[in-house]
Amino acid sequence: MVQRRIPKIKDLAPLMQFKAPELNAKKRRLESALTIYDLRAIAKRRTPKAAFDYTEGAAEAEISLARARQAFEDIEFHPAILRDVSTVSTGWDVLGAPVALPFGIAPTGFTRMMQTEGEIAGAHAAAKAGIPFSLSTMGTTAIEDVKAANPHGRNWFQLYMWKDRDRSMALVDRAAKAGFDTLLVTVDVPVAGARLRDKRNGFSIPPQLTLGTVVNALPRPEWWINFLTTEPLAFASLDRWSGTVGELLDTMFDPTVTFEDLAWIKAQWPGKVVVKGVQNVADAARLAEMGVDAIILSNHGGRQLDRAPIPFHLLPEVAREVGNDLEVHLDTGIMSGADIVAAVALGARFTLVGRAYLYGLMAGGEAGVDRAVQILAEQITRTMRLLGVTSLEELEPGHVTQLSRLSRIARPEGVPATRP
């Protein structure tokens, strides 16, 4: 028989530790977010549908994005035990300079549309975290203003080559004069992908106040108040546009850009050159021969060619082929620090996060971006400790197995597996 008694006050006291309520609503909701998916849920509640869907969406049936995220879930870690992991270092050199974490903020377009603090919030957060911030050609903050927001940190400029070459290179010149240290040349956008969410939402720049947007805005007054009472959207590249995003991209992007054009761009830039949007080993090898400083394995977050190659699946083969010649970076599908650790283990020197950063921005402005970075950093550190490693240098392919959900029946003719 269990002996029972009336509890004594001294026994109850340790159990009755009530936490003081957090009165700051923003701080309270951000502290409740324990994962990037939690920030996503908050962002969706607080952001009008068209703006949220622009961030969330991908091309056509959105298969590329779903596969990229699934690829990170379909891994198996192999930890070592009985290692002293009391101290862990999460930084190393990337493109010749130190970073505190093996990820940076990816270039994102129309960022102030997501939340009015936009790129300035991202640049401030990157400066505090000791990581690079990337400004998109389609960014909504001037090059010089981003530099002012992150004067001592690492600023990277992402270039889309337009049909108007002089205008494109004028932006490159501005970035160089402002002290940006790295140029990201995006090469996977000869034309815009079919972003069906934007078409269905009638997403335009600037957003149109239709009956639907007004109804959608009613439960999200803070977003609209911020949008209507701050400076009108200004772009790094253009002043105004009255059509959809896809129409804007199709009028601007140059489908004639070749490797020869890339070599010409490289010759104009005084700093590091990184090519973003590489999706096969042969192109990676050719870029290594050209002498670029790094490549980014990326399918543009699934926003261009649907059913494109999965960057994380390409990573081991590309790293083996060209990893001694240039740095291999990676984006698309990253939603946790464990994803980043797995990428580093399989050969990535660096990773970029786009949606994860924007979810934080939409959830709480600069404080939300800080929270996104904090979540990823904590997950990286914890994953490394549980794997039994104390530095990024100790991560190796043996720590990760990529499990197979999709397997290729046969390699198609004309798609080389290795360097030609």
Active site residues: 300
The tokens for 304 are 């261009």
Measured CA to CA in angstroms, residue 93 lies from 33, 168, 349, 361 at distances of 30, 30, 9, 27
Measured CA to CA in angstroms, residue 3 lies from 6, 14, 412 at distances of 11, 22, 74
Which residues are bridge partners to 275 per DSSP?
Answer: 185, 295
Tokens 């291999």 map to which residue?
A: 328
Measured CA to CA in angstroms, residue 210 lies from 197, 207, 215, 220 at distances of 17, 9, 9, 15
State the burial class of residue 154 (Cβ atoms within 10 Å of its Cβ: 0-12, 13-18, 19+).
buried
Is residue 188 within 8 A of residue 277, CB to CB? The reply is yes
Measured CA to CA in angstroms, residue 259 lies from 26, 264, 276, 287, 369 at distances of 47, 9, 13, 9, 36
